[in-house]
A = this chain, B = another copy of it.
Amino acid sequence: MKLTDPDRLFPVESAVRTLARELYESVAELPIISPHGHCDPSWFAKNERFPDPAQLFVVPDHYVFRMLVSQGVPMADLGVPSVDGRAVEDDPRKIWRRFAENYHLLRGTPSSMWLDHSFEHVFDLDERLSADTADAYYDHIDAKLAEDAFRPRALFDRFGIELLATTESALDDLTWHKMIGDSDWNGRVVTTYRPDNVVDPEFEGFADNVVQFGALTGEDTSTWEGYLQAHRVRRAFFKAYGATASDHGHATARTEDMLQADAAALFSKALAGTCTPDEADAFRGQMLTEMARMSLDDGLVLQIHPGSFRNHSASVFAGFGRDKGFDIPSQTDYVHALKPLLDAVGMEPSLTIIVFTLDETSYSRELAPLAGAYPALRLGPPWWFFDSNEGIKRFREATTETCGFYNTVGFNDDTRAFCSIPARHDVARRSDCAYLANLVATGRLGLADAHEVAHDLTYRLAKQAYRL
């Protein structure tokens, strides 16, 4: 028995399935372009073995552990590090067993598909994970992890990754990227400029961060002009480590294009910690437009990831901190929110702004119409809960008719779960080919065109949009 079906995610009707398989086979082996994600660059810098199966598959993957939490398993029992000093499980085998006993909770989810893919294709396992197979799995994976072939760089090469972008804070020293660059390994791991902690007045320690930002750049970040200049300097530093993009995770998609004097005044309030929530939101919005203007000069692509209500549970945040599966999508307006930015720079063909959403209702109503009009705007792939088979299907069905394929930018895996990268790209390739096969079978696209589009969605568009 195999864990994965070779025809998974293809349409069920035989002739269309054949078409989908044919399209998929033409792109299945293309290199992986991963232009946005959250892998830890120290893996590739140090190239140490991954510690154990639980640390590889459970503890860092909030997609996985939140599902067990949702059914009553305490987060501490899954080894998730606490920030309030409470004890958490430190026996990886016990964590693994709890995961295995509850593996049925993931039925029908993309997580189970990614995990089964990794188990089978990375670790050569072929029985379903369960309470019964938990220990055998653990021993098998743990033994593999001790082999050189399962160290980060070897897996990177084996996965066929042509480029992997990580995401670092504006205050990061990029030491791991330097180590990677100085090493004899040829894997291409680049950084991305993520300045939320010096852009968001509501970020913990914002004012101190801005001081540190000044120290790092040698600019006087107590003034608006110096602060902007510090961004320019830091963006150049990130570019030196391969960055081709910046990234911005804001609660809303709000943008502003205020007078510079007003922006400077708002910046002073932000530093003083006296912004109202609305003013903090306005400042973040102004900074998107400022970043876009810098992009016109330095060529970095501007990514906007709005609409997540971060750290929804006060008690989980107090006990375990950020990124624990309690970031919840919320309704997001784009049509009004992006207007200041688009009026400022939206008609610039030399600029690329990639907008993401967690609010699927905006695909057909707002984002595809906007991306199908403004030259600077591109529509990012399905994000977070939506980079799944159904999520990708709904994305294509809701956007293609309005903005076509060429205002989209290929796939992002956006993951911190390294082994899921090939699985996620495989799901995206299969889902896109299934969609294309349906278009061909219903007379909406010629077969030769479908082959070209499949290649574009898998490879070309990501390289082009992210300027790789």
- Interface positions of A (Cβ within 8 A of B): 4-5, 7-13, 15-16, 66-67, 69-72, 104-110, 113, 128, 309, 312-316, 325-326, 328-331, 333, 335-336, 339, 342-343, 346-347, 349, 358-361, 364-366, 368-375, 377, 385-386, 388-391, 397-398, 400-407, 438-439, 441-446, 449, 452-453
A141 CB, nearest partner CB in chain B, Å: 21
Partner of A445, one of B108, B441, B445: B108
CB contacts (< 8 Å) of A439 on chain B: these are 108
The reply to whether B5 and A369 contact each other, CB–CB distance below 8 Å, is: no
Of B314, B373, B391, which contacts A343 at CB under 8 A? B314
Copies of this protein, total:
3
Question: With A312-B342, A325-B373 in contact, do A404 and B67 touch (Cβ < 8 Å)?
Answer: yes
A68 to chain B, nearest CB (A): 10
Are A107 and B404 closer than 8 Å at their CB atoms?
Answer: yes
Beta-carbon contact of B402 and A109 below 8 Å: yes
Q: Provide the residues of chain B in CB contact with A385, threshold 8 Å.
A: 364, 368-369, 401-402
Whether A108 contacts B444 by the Cβ 8 Å rule is yes
The answer on a CB contact under 8 Å between B443 and A329 is no
A123 CA to B368 CA, complexed, in Å: 31
A4: shortest Cβ distance to chain B, in Å?
7
Q: CA A445 – CA B109 in complex, angstroms?
A: 9
Q: A389 and B401: CB pair below 8 A?
A: yes
In the complex, how many angstroms separate the beta carbon of A344 from the nearest chain B beta carbon? Answer: 10
Query: Smallest CB-CB separation from A329: which chain B residue?
Result: B365
Q: How far is the CB of A439 from chain B (nearest CB, A)?
A: 6
Q: If A9-B444, A107-B445, A401-B390 touch, does A365 touch B375 (CB 8 Å cutoff)?
A: no
A398 to B388, CA, bound (A): 11
Tell me if B9 and A12 are in contact (CB < 8 A): no
Residues of B within 8 A of A313 (CB): 342-343, 346-347, 373-374
A326 closest partner in B (C-beta): B373
Contact A329 B325 (CB under 8 A): no
Write the nearest CB–CB distance from A108 to chain B, whole angstroms. 4
Task: Please tell me if the beta carbons of A71 and B375 are within 8 angstroms of each other in the complex.
Answer: yes
Please name all residues of chain B whose beta carbon is closer than 8 Å to the beta carbon of A336 when the two chains form the complex: 309, 330
- Whether the Cβ atoms of B441 and A12 lie closer than 8 Å is yes
Instruction: Give Cα A259 to B346, complex, Å.
Output: 44
- If A330-B336, A339-B312 touch, whether A108 touches B369 (CB-CB below 8 Å) is no
Known A12-B442, A108-B445; contact A69-B375, beta-carbon cutoff 8 A: yes
Residues A443 and B9 in contact, CB atoms below 8 Å apart? yes
Closest residue on chain B to residue A346 by CB atoms? B313
Interfacial chain B residues near A128, Cβ < 8 Å? 446
Beyond contacts A312-B370, A314-B343: 10 other A-B pairs, Cβ-Cβ < 8 A, are A104-B449, A108-B444, A108-B445, A110-B401, A313-B342, A329-B335, A330-B335, A330-B336, A364-B385, A389-B444
Inter-chain CA distance A402–B105, complex, in Å, is 11
